[in-house]
Amino acid sequence: MPSEGKPARRRGTLVGISSTAWEHPADRGALTALRELRGFDEVVKAMSGMWNERAWRLQYLGTAIRCGDRRHPRVHRLLAEAAAALDIDELPELYVLQSPRLNASCIGMAKPFIVVTSAAVATLDDDELRNMLGHELGHLRSGHAVYRTMMIILTNMSTTVAWLPIGSMVLRGIIAAMHEWWRKAELSADRAGLLAGQDPSAALRVHMKLAGGGDLAEIDTTAFLEQAADYEGAGDLRDSVLKLRMTAPMTHPMPVARAAELRRWVDSGEYARILAGDYPRRGEEPSMSTAAKAAAESYREAFNRSQDPLVGLVRNLGDGVSAVGDAVGASARRVRTWMDRPAEPPAHESAADDNPPSRAQD
């Protein structure tokens, strides 16, 4: 669905931009730890040997349309525009797959490629589709495709070893951890999509269409963001537990939550700073310790900001425990001060006070 009647937006090229500019702190912290882990490269290579990337590419080559100048030229052009904004020289292969789902993905290990569904091509206008393709380019530049492919392999492995209780439990734990990371990786890619399209309203419309379909004629943007706030804070403890159960096996956050998170990032001023040229360049990536501190701070801020009833309860309990701890600490300090006092002289040696206070009064 091309954008008709709209003037072309001018998009600047973010020269030399590093993927760390758009990576969510929690995502970046996990990625840095994985990259620095001793022997992790060997694990990646082993996983690559277990997964036939060539066969998967052949599958799409035989069942989908590979984009180019003579095959889906509009989609190919939008990919090139998104890549230019992110200063990406080499375009990945791009396929359009027949599917009624509004979706796109970046998969592969040695040479990742992008797949977008026919529903996305038909439903999204140029600005929205450029945003979605920029999202997938963000995954590619951040190295997410490699780890996502690993997650797919591990998920498939978990079904083959389900009869082994210990092996199945270990794999499930690993997969659950990777799902938590992948949900943060989606937030990173959302930021990359916005930087590729440089149109916040289009980015928000993508999430609205993911949630409610293609017709936004009767959907107010402000009301959609209010719905996101209701999702994050409404209900009671039962709703909080239900949300945990729902999201634990999911690879993507809920569309309304993604929209709210992206809006917060824009409101923080970080998006405007990057467009103004204030961003890390390639080769200026932060150290592992810096990334870990940023990840911890991100989780702390999210915890303090959250309106979720369960988080609020934990926060209140934490405040109560802290108050009790402060009281106990103060009592301990008083006892320690009393114990450290010098011994009092016998009464017959003291002329200053005929009736010194007893220790019981101290």
Is residue 232 annotated as part of the catalytic site, yes or no? Answer: no
pLDDT at 149: 74
Average pLDDT over residues 243-265: 81
Which residue would you say has higher pLDDT here, 224 or 292? Answer: 224
Kindly indicate the confidence band of residue 181, based on its pLDDT and cuts at 50, 70 and 90. Answer: confident
- 252, burial (CB in 10 Å: exposed 0-12, middle 13-18, buried 19+): middle
Does residue 46 carry a pLDDT above 90?
no
What is the rounded CA–CA span in Å between residue 96 and residue 71? 10
Q: Where are the domains of the chain?
A: 19-307, 309-340
Structure tokens at 340: 């450290």
Residue-averaged pLDDT of the chain: 76
> pLDDT (tens digit, 9 = 90+) per residue, 194-230?
999 999 999 999 999 999 877 888 888 889 888 888 8
Query: What ranges in 198-308 are assigned the alpha helix state H?
Result: 200-212, 221-233, 237-247, 255-267, 270-275, 288-305
Q: Which of 136, 186, 232, 261 is catalytic?
A: 136
Confidence (pTM)? 0.73
- Contact in structure between 210 and 124 (CB atoms under 8 Å): no
Which residue would you say has higher pLDDT here, 195 or 330? Answer: 195
- Contact in structure between 255 and 102 (CB atoms under 8 Å): no
Which residue would you say has higher pLDDT here, 306 or 118? Answer: 118
Lowest-pLDDT range, 112-116, 123-127, 290-294?
Answer: 290-294
Cα distances (angstroms) measured from residue 88 to each of 83, 91, 262: 5, 7, 23
